[in-house]
Amino acid sequence: MLPTVRVLCLSVLALLLTAPVARADDSAWSLAPAGGDRPSFYAEGAPGTVLRDTVSVVNRGAGPVTVRLRGGGLVITFAATAVRVPARTRADVPFTVGVPAGAAPGARTGTLTARDGNGRRVTVPLRLRVGGPALAALTVEHVTVRGDRIGYELVNRGTTVLVPRLAVRAHGLLGGTLLDRPPRTLPVRLPPGKRLRLTEPWPGRPALDAVGVRLTVTAAGGAHGSARVSARFVSRGATAGAGALLAVAVATALAVRGRRRRRASTGDEGEAGGAREGQPPFAEVELTGAVG
């Protein structure tokens, strides 16, 4: 009888040693807005304000859990970035959302994220509505013409995001239209307060001319800006041609001047020694360049 009892005790001890140990369920914690059944955060305020709310970390597991909090997309500051939550406990963490002073009216999005030591991460979205009047305004600045490109800068002086439209016109020295591009939408988005450097191609620019270039930019909401710049085009071929003409003119002038001097010298000898017998007196002919 005794050996049987001993074998039974050893079997029970073996079962106890091999039985799994109860551990905390890491997936039992969650992240959510505090105070009510809200699926996400929502905040609204004017530029320059600081908004406040609270996020809850709920641990439904059998053991404690430690998570780290961080924000994304917006200026989010937590009262504590590392939070240890005991089993079956909830921890409420206050946080603030800062609205930049120069923020444009409209919607913004951000996130609140919690991550535990095992890499599990939970994210809750945050929507921010920035109040204030909407103002569309822009300027065109620092227009340059270099080679076959027109450079310029666009500056958003308003409070709304702009999608600009550009028109380009250029006139020559005699008033002829050299470039006339109707307004077209540029593939850019210009946030409030931002400056953007752009270039416009001009492959058929003149080789020799003095031109005036005007850029006109518009956007939705009544935004309008324009700027003008003057430029001179002198190609190497045109410069070489002008130099060749100048050289020919100088050579011609020197030849005419030398011929006049020789003829004047011959005339003086005739007066001193008298005209040769049987020859008419020497007459000087002036070259006027006229063609009969």
The answer to whether 60 and 88 are in contact (CB under 8 A) is: yes
Return the pLDDT at 262.
62
> Are residues 206 and 180 located together in one domain of the fold?
yes
Q: Which of 53-57, 153-157, 203-207 has the lowest mean pLDDT?
A: 203-207
Q: Which two tokens stand for residue 217?
A: 């930019």
Element (H, E) at 18: helix 2-18
Evaluate if pTM is beyond 0.85: no
**pLDDT at 43 > cutoff 70:** yes
**pLDDT at 24 > cutoff 50:** no
> Are residues 47 and 118 located together in one domain of the fold?
yes
Averaged pLDDT, 96-123: 92
**pLDDT at 56 > cutoff 50:** yes
The answer to whether 113 and 77 are in contact (CB under 8 A) is: no
Averaged pLDDT, 154-178: 91
292 in a structural domain: no
119 in a structural domain: yes
Q: Which two tokens stand for residue 23?
A: 């551990």
Question: Which CATH number covers residue 205?
Answer: 2.60.40.10
How many Cβ atoms from other residues are within 10 Å of residue 192's Cβ?
19
Q: Is the dihedral of CA 283, 286, 289, 292 positive or negative?
A: negative
Q: Which of 3-12, 92-101, 217-226, 263-272 has the lowest mean pLDDT?
A: 3-12
| Rounded Cα–Cα distance for residues 216 and 199 (Å) | 14
**pLDDT at 201 > cutoff 70:** yes
| Rounded Cα–Cα distance for residues 66 and 54 (Å) | 18
**Reported confidence tier of residue 284, pLDDT bands at 50, 70, 90:** very low
Show which of 234, 262, 287 is a domain's final residue.
234
Q: Which domain holds residue 145?
A: 138-234
Return the pLDDT at 133.
84
> Are residues 266 and 229 located together in one domain of the fold?
no
Q: Which residue(s) pair with 198 in the sheet? A: 152
205 in a structural domain: yes
**pLDDT at 248 > cutoff 60:** no
**pLDDT at 247 > cutoff 60:** no
**pLDDT at 220 > cutoff 80:** yes
Show which of 80, 110, 130 is a domain's final residue.
130
> Are residues 224 and 157 located together in one domain of the fold?
yes
Tens digit of pLDDT for each residue in 271-283? 444 444 444 444 4
Averaged pLDDT, 45-70: 96
User: When comparing pLDDT for 101 and 249, which is higher?
Assistant: 101
The overall average pLDDT reported for the chain is 79
Number of domains into which the chain is organized: 3
**pLDDT at 199 > cutoff 60:** yes
218 in a structural domain: yes
Residue 128 class from Cβ within 10 Å (0-12 exposed, 13-18 middle, 19+ buried)? buried
Return the pLDDT at 205.
81
Return the pLDDT at 3.
47
User: When comparing pLDDT for 267 and 148, which is higher?
Assistant: 148
Show which of 108, 130, 152 is a domain's final residue.
130
User: When comparing pLDDT for 259 and 48, which is higher?
Assistant: 48
**Reported confidence tier of residue 105, pLDDT bands at 50, 70, 90:** confident
